[in-house]
Amino acid sequence: MSGFSDNIMRLSGRMLSQYPAQRDWDGKLTMAPHPGIIPTFSIEIMKWNGWGYSDSKFLYNKKGQAEFTGKRYRLSGMIIPGLREWMESTFSANLQHKTPAAPILNSSAVQPPTLNEAFLKELKSTGIPFSHDAEDRVFRSHGHCLHEIFALREGKIGRVPDLVVWPNCHNDVVKIVELACKHNVCLIPYGGGTSVSSALECPPEETRSIVSLDTSQMNRILWIDEKNLTAHVEAGIVGQDLERLLNESGYCTGHEPDSMEFSSLGGWVATRASGMKKNIYGNIEDLVVHIKMVTPRGVIEKSCQGPRMSTGPDVHHFIMGSEGTLGVVTEVTMKIRPMPEYQKYGSVVFPNFEMGVACLREVARQRCAPASIRLMDNEQFKFGHALKPQVSSIFTSFLDGLKKFYITKFKGFDPNRLCVATLLFEGDREKVLQHEKQVYDIAAKFGGLAAGEDNGQRGYMLTFVIAYLRDLGMDYYVIGESFETSMPWDRVLDICRNVKARIVRECKDKGVQFPPLSTCRAQHPAPPEGARPEREHVNGRSSIIFSTQRLLHNMFENLSVSCI
């Protein structure tokens, strides 16, 4: 890296998190002040059996009104009048029939740790912090698949890691992996814990000691190379910290998976993550210039920071998607960009889903996809409406937004068939405005009518909050799941129709009491230049955001599709 020394900026983040860790009298770990949002003991501020921050949740207050608690989000502290009626009418949910989650973790339900004394002895000598506290172990025993969260709510604790270790840097990981190999201990890398691929589950039959390797302390930006627009970052940094620190220097990666509050850089690499703005910035495989991974056979990394090699297979593509099975990603060099000069939201209403899909296809054909474009079907549009808070400027309901136009423009749109696309444009102002015009002109050809910036912005603002809704659903016998896929354009309508039909049939066959609600969302795929095949995130956290749109009575499915 010496080659870069002349133009590297060191960020304060590095210094702040270099205080050594301390362990107190009962072996419990206490950490020095930390620049990251998420503390070492995530459980201090995060739910152990639900989504996100402990202080933020949907609930029905004494008056029976839905509200969102806390202070962290724009929706925090607000009443959502329409949600209750929507839940009751859509799912025949009854607020009298509650199925609350087990409030606190019953440590006695957690099997005592299977400790490998020889491993532990050598680990202690390294000074690397660790914990066998039940809460720390349970917290790292799962991702956010429905079945994982459901089990926790029921107080069902299965096989969990026996130990949690917090390496502070790449070399710590090397030591830990060496010791694990030496003493036949299992390692499960743990980043943000937002996995939906079951990669964090411990095999029940595993008799060896299982150690959760928590990368959260490896969260420094080691250098920023402003000449070549790259940043070298430790893999444990969570998305919101990475973007915040880069923004302080005027840069961004542009990688914004819906999980970015909690998911980590290493997790993005291990799960081949996709971001909301991939149309401009690309997916993780497009943003990564160099990866360092510790494997049982040693450290694997490319021999240079060169952007491309055509000599032989690309080892990065072995690592991406490996879900932690091949090793621990410790450091990553990412492409960065100056922060966009200008952002503009937008939305378009189409008479029906078919017209909307046809429009997305044409946008792809003309290679003018905005940073983000999402087409919601009618059911999902109505659900979005149900989330309108009582008082808010930006949260003006979609229908209110539509009403402004209704008389003049939306006459003839069937409220039970219309669908909506939300848009986000980024770049320099002039180009954004050109780009915007081009997209709205295309939309018009497919009967699409511009429905204002607020309606678009609202959709994206809900992205983080919406993830909290699944927990509310589960309080009232409503569960849900989601899945995503990518396919050729001419199959989109078929798969939406067929998946919905299949879900209805399966629910019927399984004796589900009420008919399920299924909704579809089509993402935009092709990058502007169209050189890359479309990417859609299949197994990453991005699917989980639908958990909230998955509010359903016994069964609710959301399908997200995208195309070549």
Q: Which of residues 131-190 bind a copy of itself (CB under 8 A)?
A: none
CB of 281 to a copy of itself, least distance (A): 6
Cβ closest to a copy of itself, residue 337 vs residue 409: 337
Cβ closest to a copy of itself, residue 368 vs residue 449: 368
Element (H, E) at 456: helix 453-465
| The token pair that represents 439 in the structure block | 């997209």
Q: CA–CA distance from 355 to each of 352, 379, 417, 518, 527 (Å)?
A: 6, 16, 11, 19, 21
CB of 124 to a copy of itself, least distance (A): 36
CB of 259 to a copy of itself, least distance (A): 13
| d(C-alpha 401, C-alpha 534), whole Å | 32
Cβ closest to a copy of itself, residue 320 vs residue 418: 320
Cβ closest to a copy of itself, residue 235 vs residue 369: 369
Residue 302: CB atoms within 10 A of its CB come to 15
275, burial (CB in 10 Å: exposed 0-12, middle 13-18, buried 19+): buried
Indicate which single residue of 228, 295, 343, 396 sits in contact with a copy of itself (rule: CB under 8 A): 228
- The span of 48-56, 129-137, 155-163, 533-541 binding a copy of itself (CB under 8 A) equals 533-541
Cβ closest to a copy of itself, residue 308 vs residue 510: 308
The answer to the question of residue 3 lying near a copy of itself (CB under 8 A) is yes
CB of 340 to a copy of itself, least distance (A): 12
Indicate which single residue of 135, 172, 201, 225 sits in contact with a copy of itself (rule: CB under 8 A): 225
304, burial (CB in 10 Å: exposed 0-12, middle 13-18, buried 19+): exposed
The answer to the question of residue 272 lying near a copy of itself (CB under 8 A) is yes
CB of 428 to a copy of itself, least distance (A): 9
Q: Is 394 in contact with 457 (CB distance < 8 Å)?
A: yes
> Which residues have CB under 8 Å from 68's CB, separation 6+?
56, 57, 58, 75, 76, 77, 78, 80, 389, 465, 468
Indicate which single residue of 230, 347, 422, 549 sits in contact with a copy of itself (rule: CB under 8 A): 230
Nearest CA to 138 out of 190, 77, 84, 85 is that of: 190
Cβ closest to a copy of itself, residue 184 vs residue 498: 498
| d(C-alpha 262, C-alpha 10), whole Å | 24
Q: Is 525 in contact with 534 (CB distance < 8 Å)?
A: yes
Q: Within positions 463 to 502, which residues make up the interface with a copy of itself, using CB under 8 A?
A: 485-491
DSSP code, position 407: I
- Binding-site positions for substrate read 470
| d(C-alpha 534, C-alpha 525), whole Å | 5
Nearest CA to 541 out of 184, 168, 51 is that of: 51
Q: Within positions 294 to 323, which residues make up the interface with a copy of itself, using CB under 8 A?
A: 304-314, 316-323
Strand, helix or coil at 314?
coil
Indicate which single residue of 145, 185, 202, 288 sits in contact with a copy of itself (rule: CB under 8 A): 288
- Per-residue x/- track, 188-207, a copy of itself (CB under 8 A): ---------x----------
Q: Within positions 99 to 118, which residues make up the interface with a copy of itself, using CB under 8 A?
A: none
- Binding-site positions read 189-195, 271-274, 323-329, 470
> Which residues have CB under 8 Å from 92's CB, separation 6+?
514, 553
Cβ closest to a copy of itself, residue 218 vs residue 538: 538
Give the sign of the dihedral formed by CA 511, CA 513, CA 515, CA 521.
negative
| d(C-alpha 316, C-alpha 319), whole Å | 5
The packing angle between helices 81-91 and 378-386, to 10°, is 140
- Per-residue x/- track, 334-353, a copy of itself (CB under 8 A): -x-x----------------
Cβ closest to a copy of itself, residue 33 vs residue 313: 313
- Per-residue x/- track, 408-447, a copy of itself (CB under 8 A): ----------------------------------------
Q: Is 509 in contact with 442 (CB distance < 8 Å)?
A: no
| d(C-alpha 241, C-alpha 57), whole Å | 22
Cβ closest to a copy of itself, residue 293 vs residue 387: 293
The answer to the question of residue 33 lying near a copy of itself (CB under 8 A) is no
- The span of 16-24, 475-483, 516-524, 526-534 binding a copy of itself (CB under 8 A) equals 526-534
| d(C-alpha 417, C-alpha 76), whole Å | 31
Indicate which single residue of 281, 381, 464, 476 sits in contact with a copy of itself (rule: CB under 8 A): 281
Q: Is 510 in contact with 162 (CB distance < 8 Å)?
A: no
| d(C-alpha 5, C-alpha 384), whole Å | 49
Cβ closest to a copy of itself, residue 180 vs residue 563: 563
Amino acid at 485: T
The answer to the question of residue 53 lying near a copy of itself (CB under 8 A) is no
Cβ closest to a copy of itself, residue 320 vs residue 402: 320
Nearest CA to 262 out of 85, 84, 51 is that of: 51
The answer to the question of residue 63 lying near a copy of itself (CB under 8 A) is no
The answer to the question of residue 538 lying near a copy of itself (CB under 8 A) is yes
- The span of 118-126, 131-139, 503-511, 528-536 binding a copy of itself (CB under 8 A) equals 528-536
| d(C-alpha 149, C-alpha 153), whole Å | 6
The answer to the question of residue 292 lying near a copy of itself (CB under 8 A) is no
Q: Within positions 356 to 385, which residues make up the interface with a copy of itself, using CB under 8 A?
A: 365
- The span of 95-103, 147-155, 226-234, 258-266 binding a copy of itself (CB under 8 A) equals 226-234
Phi-psi label, residue 159: left if phi above 0, alpha if psi -120 to 50, beta otherwise:
beta
CB of 329 to a copy of itself, least distance (A): 13
- Say how many residues touch a copy of itself, by CB under 8 A: 71
